[in-house]
Amino acid sequence: MNKSNNLDEIFNARSVAIAGVSKGSSGQRFLKNLLKYGFKGEVYPVNPKGGEISGLKVYSNIRDIPGPVDYVISCIPALLAPQLIKDCVAKGVIAVSFYTAGFAEIGSIEGIELEREICRLAHSGGLRIIGPNCLGIHSPKAGLSFSSSFPRESGRVALICQSGGNATCFVDAATQRGARFSKVISYGNACDVNESELLDYFASDPETEIVAAYIEGVKDGRRFYQVLKKLADKKPTIVLKGGYTKAGAASAASHTGSLAGSGEIWEGVLQQTGAIQVHSLEELADMVVTFSYMSPPQGRRIGMFGAGGGATVLATDECIAAGFNLPRLPEEIQDELKQLVTCQAGNILKNPLDLSSVNFDESFYKITRRLALYEEIDFIIAHVPLGIVLPFAMSSNSVLDFLTDVTIKLNSEVNKPVAMVLHSVVSSENWKATLNAQQKCYEAGLPVYNSIAGAAKAIDRFLRYHGNRSDK
């Protein structure tokens, strides 16, 4: 049996049963999320008590379901899992995903034995297991999801994530910044479907161009190395290793029963395979956004503009610290720009440009355009610190709107990469306005970041990635 074809079938499941659905249960939550997300196939709630829930007939056993069942989500107690496996095998189910926990991760001999048993049963019956102790599959093309807040559109990013909580957290955050997913899998203890099989699958999945991974441990180091290398050769692959430290690894063992390996080994492996290592979910989102929306700059020379004197000073420090340069504009361009400003702020027209005292009209755009066109500039960073009240007579949200429009126009008219940073959010109004501006940006093809430091670090990794590849 070709296992990868198998994964394809799982990600394209046409019918779903949820075992362990009762009022107020996690099973019901999975059911509601699936229906709310808009799954078009058949959905079958299962509970020995039968009855009805959310307008659907509840089947007392998987075997009683009339039509075929491709995918089962299990929310039943762990001790009942072996029987469920047998029922699934009998029914001809392709895969079962266990939200159910209480297996190897609890660290007891019973838990480890139980996990081995369901694996054995599934393997001999040709059934695949996702998890246990996970949220399972999000596959927008199939209309299949464990979270109703995830986007309906399909995209180019695949996420393999050993933690369900990190998966929801990451996808929601990255979605707000325009990342769209081909497939997401929360795969927990990985007793059957594991990180290596998934990386291998995504290496040849035509819908996936970028792979993000949160991994706590690997089952087979040699195979992991091989598939990661194969994948990273073909597609940008960004890995966040959970349990990087010894204590973190101990915590990972309690979480997903993972044997984690030391931080140094991971660093070496990731570097040798060409995968990109990050250290937080925020950094993972920054990389996914960069690969989704930025084209590679020719070099490390930034043209920067934004609003706020102090914010500009700090932004400059952060870009320099990340290894970038900000070439000073030559006198002749400065003189040109001085014609465009009515204020006396000629001294700010050097790069970086603090444009908070420049009129917010067409001249503002002309200044940024001249900066972008300067031949010693490789790419542009525009930034708006939302928490400041500058220029003093404008609301920060008006400044945001204006700068967003200018930056989008610049991106469409100048043939250099442009990045947008919307930072220092301090109020609910700022938060909402930022979400709107983020959407405007990514719809226009612009990468958006939450901090200058985050943008600088991500673009640095992006440049190193392309530099390393062009060396090959």
Binding positions for its own copies, 271-330, rule CB under 8 A: 279-281, 307-314, 316-321, 325-326, 328
Question: Quick one: 408 or 441, whose CB is closer to its own copies?
Answer: 441
Other Cβ atoms less than 10 A from the Cβ of 469: the count is 13
Other Cβ atoms less than 10 A from the Cβ of 113: the count is 11
| DSSP letter string, 324-380 | -B-PPPPHHHHHHHHTT-SSSGGGGBTSSEEGGGS-SSHHHHHHHHHHHH-TT--EE
Contact call for residue 343 and its own copies (CB under 8 A): yes
Give the H or E element holding residue 426: none
CA distance 87 to 59: 13
CA distances (Å), origin 32, targets 39, 49, 393: 10, 19, 48
Nearest to 180 by CA among 206, 154, 141, 161: 154
Report 31-70 residues binding its own copies (CB under 8 A): none
CB of 66 to its own copies, least distance (A): 28
Question: Quick one: 15 or 189, whose CB is closer to its own copies?
Answer: 189
CA distance 408 to 445: 8
Question: Quick one: 292 or 424, whose CB is closer to its own copies?
Answer: 424
Task: Tell me the three-class secondary structure of 207-230, residue by residue.
Answer: CCCEEEEEECCCCCHHHHHHHHHH
CA distance 319 to 311: 12
Contact call for residue 140 and its own copies (CB under 8 A): no
CA distance 203 to 213: 13
Among the residue ranges 41-49, 80-88, 289-297, 343-351, the one whose residues contact its own copies (CB under 8 A) = 343-351
Q: Are strands 448-449 and 379-385 parallel, antiparallel or unpaired?
A: unpaired
Contact call for residue 136 and its own copies (CB under 8 A): no
CA distance 228 to 161: 15
For the chain, the distance separating the N- and C-terminal CA atoms, rounded to the nearest angstrom, is 36
Give phi and psi for 161, each to the nearest 5: -140, 120
CA distance 58 to 93: 18
Among the residue ranges 39-47, 60-68, 349-357, 366-374, the one whose residues contact its own copies (CB under 8 A) = 349-357
Give phi and psi for 448, each to the nearest 5: -120, 140
CA distance 352 to 344: 17
Other Cβ atoms less than 10 A from the Cβ of 439: the count is 14
Among the residue ranges 35-43, 121-129, 167-175, 198-206, the one whose residues contact its own copies (CB under 8 A) = 167-175
Question: Quick one: 408 or 458, whose CB is closer to its own copies?
Answer: 458
Report 438-457 residues binding its own copies (CB under 8 A): 453
Among the residue ranges 14-22, 34-42, 197-205, 347-355, the one whose residues contact its own copies (CB under 8 A) = 347-355
Among the residue ranges 2-10, 86-94, 120-128, 157-165, the one whose residues contact its own copies (CB under 8 A) = 157-165
Among the residue ranges 85-93, 193-201, 342-350, 401-409, the one whose residues contact its own copies (CB under 8 A) = 342-350
Contact call for residue 165 and its own copies (CB under 8 A): yes
**What track of x and - describes contact with its own copies for positions 357 through 376 (by CB under 8 A)?**
x-------------------
**What track of x and - describes contact with its own copies for positions 171 through 200 (by CB under 8 A)?**
-xx--x------------------------
CB of 102 to its own copies, least distance (A): 4
Question: Quick one: 40 or 392, whose CB is closer to its own copies?
Answer: 392
CA distance 105 to 161: 16
Question: Quick one: 89 or 394, whose CB is closer to its own copies?
Answer: 394
Report 385-424 residues binding its own copies (CB under 8 A): 385, 387-393, 424
**What track of x and - describes contact with its own copies for positions 233 through 272 (by CB under 8 A)?**
-------x-xxxxxxx-xxxxxxx----------------
Question: Quick one: 203 or 348, whose CB is closer to its own copies?
Answer: 348
Three-class SS of residue 189?
Answer: coil
Q: Select the residue interacting with its own copies from 1, 24, 55, 331 (CB under 8 A).
A: 24
Question: Quick one: 381 or 453, whose CB is closer to its own copies?
Answer: 453
CB of 286 to its own copies, least distance (A): 14
Residues 97/102/105/110 CA torsion (nearest 10 deg): -120
CB of 30 to its own copies, least distance (A): 8
Number of residues that bind its own copies (CB under 8 A): 94
Task: Give bridge partners of residue 421 from the DSSP assignment.
Answer: 383, 449
What is Dmax (Cα atoms) for the chain?
A: 82
Report 195-214 residues binding its own copies (CB under 8 A): 214
Question: Quick one: 100 or 411, whose CB is closer to its own copies?
Answer: 100
**What track of x and - describes contact with its own copies for positions 84 through 123 (by CB under 8 A)?**
---------------x-xx--xxxx--x------------
Q: Select the residue interacting with its own copies from 115, 195, 200, 354 (CB under 8 A).
A: 354
* CA angle (336, 341, 345) in 5-degree steps: 100
CB of 358 to its own copies, least distance (A): 12
